[in-house]
A = this chain, B = another copy of it.
């Protein structure tokens, strides 16, 4: 299938203004955004998004885990919808564009369709997935994962944040526990526009990343148990310092990453010390470990070898290490047909583009297990993301949105 010739254009200024308007919600002094999932701030963002959609005459429905779907009907009611979207939640100290670009970009696509009086063959639905970031409840891609059946709902509702608030309680608190089941429905395709969150496109001066799939990854939870005792009175031979043991594992993760060269990823991002008192030797340390690589085989090897290497690393500390593998998945390839629509749109528009494998997890990864999926990346300054200094240029946002518009339009109007 090929794209129809078109001079139909999205409104880059309107897109940018709406991105900035959304960024006001949870804005931080340093120019970033703190819009943690299912908080009061998240509710404000959701309400503004819902109001924008309803102003376009879109019907907004919410499912049991708070995923939002804004539907624009097509000419043929028998056709399954074409989905597009991303997420509005952010990291604790995140940027304006991670997630928001895909949702607000989809909104601009809807607005442009309305301006131009276009009625597509298939319906189009714009999605705001709940809790993509995982910073509050510890599981990223929570909403899309629940929708796709990756996470059992009982487990999702029971997850608790640092204050002991459950997902179910948080959903009720902001009024976004919707009546619709969080279950997959038949859809024709899913397109997600997102910033690259890495330095590659900017480094190679490309405007569009044609995302062919997502990196393989494995995530662990680690608990090191020592013994808390008095820092001033406990001699070296009697110490079982869980933080000293954790430091060795952190160093190991970094070395295992660097052993794999530029494609390696290995990170301890979250760590908690117990009791965390100045003059008490830490008795327990809990932390996260993750590895990623474009090659499934490398992640398999890391996932299999890491536990024994970590146990060896803490030998002699008097501590014990308990590792739980949270999940492991290989390279997730996207749908060739959908990817080709993105490739063709970029080419037709004359945007410098390259194929790229996503280093980050995205809602598209879980959706693609059930629905033909593709992603569009745009550059971000210095490859910075999950950072308040995250920054993109308006013309980059507009280019990504134009590609999304043309890919979605082509898919929604394709012959069957």
Contact = CB atoms under 8 A, between A and B. Distances in A.
B278 A219 contact: yes
A290 interface: yes
Contacts of A251: 244, 247-248, 251
Copies in the complex: 2
Nearest to A257: B236
Interface string A368-402: 00000000000000011111000000000000000
Interface string A270-289: 11111111111111000010
Contacts of A262: 235-237
Contacts of A269: 231, 243, 273, 276-282
A388 to B, nearest CB: 9
A238 B383 contact: yes
A386 to B, nearest CB: 4
Given A257-B236, A273-B270, A386 B279 contact: yes
A133 interface: yes
A50 interface: no
A36 to B, nearest CB: 10
Interface stretch (A6-14, A18-26, A134-142, A174-182): A134-142
Contacts of A138: 278
A267 B92 CA distance: 29
A235 B198 contact: yes
A230 B133 CA distance: 11
22 contacts: A134-B279, A198-B230, A198-B233, A198-B235, A199-B235, A199-B238, A227-B387, A229-B383, A229-B385, A229-B386, A231-B290, A235-B263, A235-B265, A238-B383, A243-B268, A244-B254, A246-B250, A247-B248, A269-B273, A278-B288, A278-B290, A281-B386
The 8 closest A-B pairs by CB, nearest first: A198-B233, A233-B359, A232-B359, A231-B267, A247-B247, A247-B250, A232-B360, A92-B275
